[in-house]
Amino acid sequence: MRWRGRRGSSNIEDRRGRGGGRAGAGMAGGLGGFGLIAVLLIGWFFGIDVSPFLGGQGQGPTVTQSAPPSAAEQQEAQFVSVVLADTEEVWAEIFQRQVDGPYRPATMVLFSGVTQSPCGGASGATGPFYCPADRKAYLDTAFFTTLEQRLGAKGDFAAAYVVAHEIAHHVQNELGILGQANRLRAQASQAESNAISVRIELQADCYSGIWARFAEAQFGSIEPGDLQEAVNAAREIGDDTLAREAGRVPQPHTFTHGTSEQRARWFVTGYESGDLRACDTFSATRL
């Protein structure tokens, strides 16, 4: 991905190097995006109790971060800033063309270890997530290392896909989709809530594909192999793949993000169509 030397976003809130605190409680948009995946993986890989981080229940551990960001961390922040700027320009254009209304950009919060969030679970252990309560996406860039080393999703465009996916939840929030879906989830059984969550996440994957299509056309930033990196990342974080890697039998009624095949296919659907209407997972008879 061609990103160096390009414009970054001003909507970055860098909390790294600050003293940590306890994460608040609440409901994160789209089950915290990649958050639930990351926290379950940590529990499965290392055999630790991750229940304080699930569903916004309880309090996270207190962690103090005082060291300033390293050179590598600064580069990661610059990368996120450029990708975020790309999402801002792309979604502003898409809203103008397909929504007939303004796009209000999200703020990206960079943190180390743990930070405060109205939605709770703002911990490096839970991975990136979007909080509709404050319209901010939260990211500990150390998750990029987890993505590559633990999940097998390598490449800078795989990392860009992570950012684009969380911003896609913001797009859902701007369109009123996320709030309506979460209200339905709150009234549903656990299995029904999981099924709604799958549709939320697959739509965010599809929106990420739309972003990739427009970013390629507007900025020429996508290089050979980039799209495959994103598709591979989508496959590696499918619920069925994660269950098998953890030595468990996949149980579809427990899925919250979709299978590897579904996640990759919906990303490609967004990329090939470039149309929000093609990403209506809530009306789809086949996911």
Does 85 reside within a domain? yes
Does 1 reside within a domain? no
Does 286 reside within a domain? no
Does 266 reside within a domain? yes
Among the listed ranges 82-91, 92-101, 144-153, 242-251, which one has the minimum average pLDDT value? 144-153
Does 74 reside within a domain? yes
Instruction: pLDDT band for 124, please (50, 70, 90 cuts).
Output: low
Tokens (6 digits) for 145: 């290392």
Helix axes 226-236, 260-273, angle to 10 degrees: 150
| HSE (side-chain half, CA atoms, 13 Å) at 20 | 22
Tokens (6 digits) for 151: 């999940």
pLDDT digits (tens, 9 = 90+) for 265-275: 999 999 999 99
pTM (predicted TM-score): 0.83
Per the structure, how many domains does the chain have?
1
* 283 vs 67: which has the higher pLDDT: 283
Our CA dihedral for 218, 220, 223, 228, rounded to 10 degrees, sits at: 10
| HSE (side-chain half, CA atoms, 13 Å) at 205 | 32
pLDDT digits (tens, 9 = 90+) for 47-81: 333 333 344 433 433 344 456 667 777 888 899 99
Does 6 reside within a domain? no
* 143 vs 248: which has the higher pLDDT: 248
Does 219 reside within a domain? yes
Q: How far is CA 250 from CA 124, 172, 242, 253, 260, in A?
A: 26, 28, 8, 9, 12
Residue 15 CB partners (closer than 8 Å, separation 6+): 109, 110, 111, 112, 115
pLDDT digits (tens, 9 = 90+) for 1-38: 888 888 899 999 998 876 544 444 344 555 444 544 44
Question: 132 lies in which domain range?
Answer: 12-279
* 42 vs 255: which has the higher pLDDT: 255
What is residue 174's predicted lDDT score, i.e. its pLDDT? 97
Does 3 reside within a domain? no
Q: Which amino acid is at 193?
A: S
Helical ranges in 95-176 per DSSP H: 143-149, 156-174
* 40 vs 128: which has the higher pLDDT: 128
Q: How far is CA 190 from CA 156, 170, 269, 282, in A?
A: 35, 24, 28, 18
